[in-house]
Amino acid sequence: MTVLPAFDRHRPASLAGATELLETYGEDAVVYAGGTELFLLFKLGFAEYPHLIDLKGIGDLFGIERRDGELRIGAAETHRSIERHPLVREQWGSLATMERGVGNLRVRTMGSIGGNLCFGDPHSDPATYLLAAGARLEARRGADERREIPLASFTTGPFENALVDGELLAGVLVPAPAPGAAIVHRKFVLTERPAITVAAHLRRDGSRLADVRLAVGSAGNRPSRVERAEVLLNGREADDLEGALAEVADLAADAADPVEDANGSVDYKRHLVGVIAGRTLREALAESRGA
Ligand SMILES: Cc1cc2nc3c(=O)[nH]c(=O)nc-3n(C[C@H](O)[C@H](O)[C@H](O)COP(=O)(O)OP(=O)(O)OC[C@H]3O[C@@H](n4cnc5c(N)ncnc54)[C@H](O)[C@@H]3O)c2cc1C
């Protein structure tokens, strides 16, 4: 049996309470929501904190609702609650599908979307999907300080994020899909967590491709947009997507910047990223409708 190191658990009821605890205990404290990552680290002996701050009593970190036309998801909402929410299923269907593919039922029932993004494990489905969806993040510090962070600037490296001391991730803001637009998320999994993730957003403007956003992740240290492929594809005749896919595959592999690990070599991952990027774009094109 694994014995966890002793800790005091705090359960603030407000953002102000959480920030106050973080300021009081400094580096001796850590926050958690589902605890699926944090308690794993404790059990493996990789981390130890005398003060644990449970975020699940803070109402501002919950809720799934439409706000000013976009979807606002509280950071402490679980993958399961997002996947099953009627608003998400009806109007952000690709998000529900992506969430349904995260881990297993136990992980989705306990793990939160905020915990996934804050932990910064490169093998993340939501991080790649939300990049292609053009999402922003809402950070809060205490009762009054609020700022928005584009998803592209949030993950600063493996297991690192852009939050500053005392700041919490409070929500995820996902724009409404434009009429006729499609987002497709695909991944390649060898063991538990994804080895490769690719997400593509696009729509058709007449006969041409528009608003192409291609994101790749999990193969390297952090998720990334494939901006050079987006430039190549935006404005291109939709019928000629195939003609661009060989170049897109190379650009996607460059942007993914794979690292060698238990999932495979750099060359193997570069190849897979290219193949999956092509498939994902083809599927997004098939799902999109003309505006
Ligand atoms: C077996 C297994 C399989 C998995 N498979 C997948 C998969 O297929 N795809 C995928 O994307 N993920 C996968 N995961 C990862 C899973 O999605 C995350 O473990 C989960 O979402 C983390 O959420 P949590 O609330 O439990 O995080 P916690 O463990 O509570 O927290 C994680 C980290 O984030 C910080 N944190 C949490 N919430 C906040 C906040 N609001 N503000 C600031 N900091 C915060 C904590 O301090 C901690 O450092 C898997 C995990 C496991 C264990």
* Pocket, ligand 1, Cβ cutoff 6 A: 30-38, 55, 61, 75, 102-103, 107, 110-112, 114-116, 118-119, 124-126, 163, 168-169, 192-194
Output the pLDDT for position 289: 78
The confidence score (pLDDT) of residue 4 equals 81
Residue closest via CA to ligand 1's atom 49 equals: 119
The pLDDT value given to residue 191: 87
CA of 110 to the centre of ligand 1 (A): 9
Task: Among 102, 110, 154, 188, say which to mutate for ligand 1: greatest number of ligand atoms within 8 Å of CB.
Answer: 102
Q: Is the pTM of this model over 0.75?
A: yes
Is the per-residue pLDDT at 1 higher than 80? Answer: no
pLDDT of residue 72: 98
Compute the distance from residue 82 Cα to the ligand 1 centre, in Å. 14
Give the atom of ligand 1 at the shortest distance from the alpha carbon of 36: 26
**Section 3-27 average pLDDT:** 94
**Both tokens of residue 114?**
């905020």
Does the pLDDT at position 291 exceed 70?
no
The per-residue pLDDT for range 98-119, each reduced to its tens digit, is 999 999 999 999 999 999 999 9
Residue ranges of domains in the chain, CATH in brackets: 8-54 (3.30.43.10), 61-174 (3.30.465.10), 182-287 (3.30.390.50)
Residues 6 or more apart in contact with residue 290 via CB below 8 angstroms: 180, 204, 206
Ligand 1 centroid–CA 128 distance in Å is: 15
Looking at the chain, the whole-number percentage of residues with pLDDT higher than 70 is: 99
Closest by Cα among 90, 195, 85, 238 to 74: 85
15, 22, 31, 109: which to mutate for ligand 1, most atoms within 8 A of CB? Answer: 31
What integer pLDDT is reported at residue 3 of this predicted model? 77
Ligand 1, atom 38: closest residue by C-alpha: 115
Q: Quote the CA–CA distance of 106 and 114 in Å, as a whole number.
A: 17
Please, which residues have CB within 8 angstroms of residue 66's CB and are 6 or more apart in sequence?
72, 87, 91
Nearest to 252, CA basis, from 282, 220, 277, 221: 277
User: Atom 9 (ligand 1): residue with closest C-alpha?
Assistant: 102
